[in-house]
Structure 1
Amino acid sequence: MGQPAHEGPDLPELLEHLARAHDADTPPDEIAAAVESMVLHPDYPCLGARSVFNRDRATLVVLERMATEEATETLLQALTDFGAETDRSAGFASLVAVFRAAEIADEAGFETLLWRQLELLYEADSQPWDPRVSDDPDNPHFAFSVGGTAFFVVGLHPQSSRIARRTPLPTLVFNLHEQFEELRASDRFSRMRDTIRRRDTELQGSLNPMVADHGRSSEARQYSGRSVPEDWEAPASFEDEETSA
């Protein structure tokens, strides 16, 4: 027997409703509930995100505007603590940073803010870059590092053209990079990757043009969710001035 049909709104309808219902004055607990309802919707394609929320492994941080000194200070501490204290043996875990007062006009504007926020985190961080990954966004082995821990960053926002990247409020999800490496080394990776791509294609009606297998291109191209051209370069640099001189 198949699973019973979902009786609630479909995912795009749910996202539209949540976007209308949430703004800069929304309390953190309501924001947390909105993110969870999105991720746990039956049509949401990312199985990893669903696992994180089903196992109560998501750490939510509610901030105001992106790429500000105040947001950077709070987020830096939260990410440093998250990287140091998270139990890796308990499964996937993510830190979800929601910016409830950020104003996003379009995908390009969000991309600019995302990379500026990452740059500010880097500039404020006293810890060295995680030696397991590259600090060059053009390198196929790049990952963002903060607090000495590498992360795969997923940007989501209300103006995204991809349904799976559309959230009521601008959001950055920081996933522990080592978890992706462990998954890739297992026999579950190909099956999980293919299932996510199939579900995303069914939801959107087309395959995400930015999906790429690890090692073929830099993951930085995927961070904002915008479809970028082949000659795209990240609008940020994470090299020390002494190194790049």
Structure 2
Amino acid sequence: MSNLSPSQSAAGKAFAERIADQMFPCVGAKSALAAGGLSIVEAGPLVCGRDDEKILDALEETAEAFWRGSGRRFYSLAILFDGPVPPDEAAFEAQMWARLQALADRDAARGAPVDPEVSEHPASPWFALSLGGHGYFIVGLHPAASRPARRFEQPTLVFNLQAQFAALRRDGLYDKMRSAIMARDTALAGSPNPMLADFGDASAAAQFSGREVDGDWFCPFLPPMRRSRAA
């Protein structure tokens, strides 16, 4: 796993600058960057699985760092994908879910358990992507994103541990942080994000790609165990 440093690649530096930009709305990502809790892995094309093992290993390191309790509240792992850029939001969303499905399937093949604090079923309001036994909320970024906060020059998936949001709730800090992010995002985009929903109110799956979808939207993700039984 590559922590941000002066020797970071050009792509990594560009992503760090994107997060550090004054207008970028996510204060959690800014806190992770400032505290050294934001790590970056560069991978091949979003449609290619050649780096899936590397990504899963990096996620394990991210979770271990969080649970060691070093005093850093925010830990995030950003995967910067090389190769062709999806032409639009729908294409990015399809490629994103295919990659997440492949990661979950490989994670299950490695024998990793499901995080007992989340659901692996995307229709559930408690859904989070469980990898290495830990639930994650995913933030997708790409050049064609309609929301300004979701734009970056190459396809990127940011993995955020669901457990750190639970810790913020226990400390009474979550609502304050969420309100600050929403206000900053609205100021940047000129309108509130219509896809925002709190964990437990509605499935977070519809928020992962950043594309606005309606109530008929269907998440293509299948829990790995269900997929194996159907095979």
Fold equivalence (TM over 0.5): yes
Asked if residue 103 in structure 1 is aligned to residue 85 in structure 2, the reply is: yes
How many Å separate the matches in 2 of 1:217 and 1:185?
A: 20
Larger Rg, first or second structure (1 or 2): 1
- Equivalent position SS for 1:65: coil
Question: Which residue, out of 71, 74, 77, partners 1:92?
Answer: 74
Asked if residue 149 in structure 1 is aligned to residue 134 in structure 2, the reply is: yes
- Equivalent position SS for 2:168: helix
Match for residue 161 of structure 1? 146
Question: Which residue, out of 46, 54, 64, partners 1:66?
Answer: 46
Query: How well do the aligned residues superpose, as a CA RMSD in angstroms?
Result: 1.8
Are the equivalent residues in 1 in contact too, given 2:49–2:99 (CA < 8 A)?
no
TM-score normalized by the length of structure 2? 0.89
Question: Which residue, out of 55, 64, 73, partners 2:35?
Answer: 55
Are the equivalent residues in 1 in contact too, given 2:77–2:159 (CA < 8 A)?
yes
Q: Which moved more, 1:179-188 or 1:147-156?
A: 179-188
Asked if residue 117 in structure 1 is aligned to residue 99 in structure 2, the reply is: yes
Are the equivalent residues in 1 in contact too, given 2:45–2:84 (CA < 8 A)?
yes
Match for residue 227 of structure 1? 212
Q: Would the alpha carbon gap of residues 242 and 158 (structure 1) be closer, same or farther in structure 2, given more than 3 Å must change?
A: closer
How many Å separate the matches in 2 of 1:76 and 1:57?
A: 17
Segments of structure 1 that go 5 or more residues without pairing to the other structure are 1-26
- Equivalent position SS for 2:137: strand
Segments of structure 2 that go 5 or more residues without pairing to the other structure are 1-6
Q: Which amino acid aligns with 2:80?
A: V
Match for residue 188 of structure 2? 203
Count of residue correspondences:
219
TM-superposed CA distance for 1:91, in Å, is 1.4
How many Å separate the matches in 2 of 1:179 and 1:102?
A: 33
TM-score normalized by the length of structure 1? 0.84
Match for residue 13 of structure 2? 33
How many Å separate the matches in 2 of 1:185 and 1:102?
A: 42
Q: Which amino acid aligns with 1:188?
A: L
Q: Which amino acid aligns with 1:160?
A: A
Asked if residue 82 in structure 1 is aligned to residue 62 in structure 2, the reply is: yes
Are the equivalent residues in 1 in contact too, given 2:104–2:224 (CA < 8 A)?
no
Are the equivalent residues in 1 in contact too, given 2:37–2:75 (CA < 8 A)?
yes
